[in-house]
Amino acid sequence: MIAIIDYGMGNLHSVSKAVERLGYEAVVTSDPERILASDGAILPGVGAFGDAMHFLREAKLDDVVRAYAASGKPLLGICLGMQLLFSGSEEHGEHEGLSLLPGRVIRFQGSFKVPHMGWNKLEFKNPDSPLLDGLEEGHAYFVHSYHALPERASDLLAVTDYNHPVTAIVGRDNVYGMQFHPEKSGSLGMALLANFLKLCGAPDRKKEAEADVG
């Protein structure tokens, strides 16, 4: 079972359906026990960093996410969910993050259009990562005004170019993040999501068969 963590901010339905299309059981939940018992967990997010951390703390899910990461089971942050994995953000003031990855989230600066919106090509920086296994560089769909600056180069799995290199995929041990929405990024996005799900264990073959029939 894959837990889609519900803290009130995220594209829960689209992520859940994408997981199910890949043959895995998905449950949208804010129940700590169900999250901690899952084979893999996804932290989605749309909106402002500070609001997201507030809702996570209010629901007492910030420590649940940290505990899940410490368990060694695969955790994936998507879009704002990826940014929350870092130490903090300057979005609308200074806010502390989950501190699962060292680094900060800052606003794009320059005389170019913000938010960054559209299809951009990924450049793999660590092709040996299991998240990138068997994949070729291609395009993903981005919508964001802030971007992450990891402190450790080894945590950077892929970048894209938007007037300068921009963090696109991060990962260390069992903790991963994607700045774009993989479920909205065509075949490459779904392949990346499938690679993450493989880390969570074997798919539910019954659901996989039902998806093929559909």
Cα–Cα dist 130/74, whole Å: 12
Whether 90 is catalytic is no
Q: Would you state the torsion angle of the CA atoms of residues 171, 174, 175, 180, taken in this order, to the nearest 10 degrees?
A: 60
Catalytic residue among 79, 116, 144, 147: 79
Within the chain, which residues score under 50 in pLDDT? 206, 208-209, 211, 213-214
Alpha carbons 30 and 5: distance in angstroms, whole number: 6
Q: Given 116, 144, 181, 200, which residue is catalytic?
A: 181
Instruction: Identify the CA nearest to 140 among candidates 199, 110, 96, 182.
Output: 182
- On whether the CB atoms of residues 161 and 122 are closer than 8 A, the answer is no
Decide if 79 is catalytic: yes
HEC per residue, the chain: CEEEECCCCCCHHHHHHHHHHCCCCEEEECCHHHHHHCCEEEECCCCCHHHHHHHHHHCCCHHHHHHHHHHCCCEEEECHHHHHCEEEECCCCCEECCCCEEEEEEECCCCCCCCEEEEEECEECCCCCHHHCCCCCCEEEEEECEEEEECCHHHEEEEEECCCEEEEEEEECCEEEECCCHHHCHHHHHHHHHHHHHHCCCCCHHHHHHHHHC
Nearest-CA neighbor of 7 among 87, 85, 83, 65? 65
Catalytic residue among 25, 183, 200, 208: 183
Residue 206 has a pLDDT of: 45
Spatial separation of the C-alpha atoms in residues 189 and 122, rounded to whole Å: 11
pLDDT score of 210: 54
DSSP bridge pairs for 167: 159
Percentage of the chain exceeding pLDDT 90: 85
Does the annotation count 33 as an active-site position? no
Residue spans of the domains in the chain: they are 2-213
Q: Which fold has domain 2-213?
A: Rossmann fold (3.40.50)
